Chain A
């Protein structure tokens, strides 16, 4: 593997060709918040929380570090004003969707997002896809999937498969950043009067 050197937050950081910005940064102990990223899964790039600013002024832009390939000489800012502002907005949006989720509440506090400007439209699921991808990529069970599109998009257990596969597995529950997955599962189970 070829070595590459990036400038992250003013420090020279080395990584390997083929890594993403997130991987290089984390390897050097630089903290970038993520919600939809999981080491064992293909990066997905949907929560946008991991965004960083790349390039040198005045030509900079925001990219999602979990899917953006690191390249030799790349200049990265993980905590620039623009990054912080955008991340704050994202956290506000996420909070409106999942007001009770601990990870999101903690991040919101860290970033000083306190006032709730947005009306809460809680769906509890933030569509990070961790459950769907874990089930498909790691367990190869495909017991859970997305249905619908746009604002109607949601996660659904596939009944034909989930009734068999899910009760003994449940490995995706702890991955869910909001906990809604397990709640829904329990709800369905209790409606079916099953233990």
Chain B
């Protein structure tokens, strides 16, 4: 579980922060690094970042809530992103999304209880010719059909 890791999390955060003391202009970079390492940004971490980088906490919160890349709740090991852009939409992405939601048992924006998958939508990935598209982790699955969904998701562990 996530909360059990909090001590280890703090260690990791301190380790990352060690190289950035007072570097207030590197806020986003530090946040990205911590997000990547922990898959979320715990509150204690934000406070530590504010202290170490010498950036007001309000600015840290502002940045964290502004960019979609950051999360204030723990994310799953894999992020599943279903494209719901126009091109994918006309090629059936709403049904793909439904199927993914059913298969994972969560709604878009949520994370499975085992923290394996987080589900998100996006409004075009720039590869419309491959539509409908779903990205799992950093692998693009294009020209998707409904019955491929489960197989693809099952292939991740």
Which A positions have Cβ atoms within 8 angstroms of B? 132, 136, 142-149, 156, 158, 160-161
Contact = CB atoms under 8 A, between A and B. Distances in A.
B66 A158 contact: no
B31 to A, nearest CB: 14
Contacts of B61: 145, 147, 156, 158
B50 to A, nearest CB: 9
A52 to B, nearest CB: 30
Interface residues of B, number: 9
Do most interface residues of chain B lie in helix, strand or loop, or is the interface mixed? Answer: helix
A160 B59 CA distance: 14
Interface string B45-61: 00100000000111101
A145 B66 contact: no
B151 interface: no
B25 interface: no
Interface of B: 47, 56-59, 61-62, 65-66
B58 A145 contact: yes
A145 B61 CA distance: 8
B58 A142 contact: yes
Contacts of B62: 145-147
A147 B65 contact: yes
B47 A145 contact: no
A19 to B, nearest CB: 29
Nearest to B55: A142
Given A145-B57, A146-B58, 11 more contacts: A136-B58, A142-B58, A145-B58, A145-B59, A145-B62, A146-B62, A148-B66, A149-B65, A158-B61, A160-B57, A161-B57
Contacts of B56: 136, 142, 145
Contacts of A136: 56, 58
Nearest to B47: A160
Contacts of A142: 56-59
Contacts of A158: 57-58, 61
B52 to A, nearest CB: 15
Contacts of B57: 142, 145, 158, 160-161
A142 B55 CA distance: 10
A53 to B, nearest CB: 33
A140 to B, nearest CB: 9
Nearest to B46: A160
B54 to A, nearest CB: 12
17 contacts: A132-B58, A136-B58, A142-B57, A142-B59, A144-B58, A145-B56, A145-B59, A145-B61, A145-B62, A146-B62, A147-B61, A148-B65, A158-B57, A158-B61, A160-B47, A160-B57, A161-B57
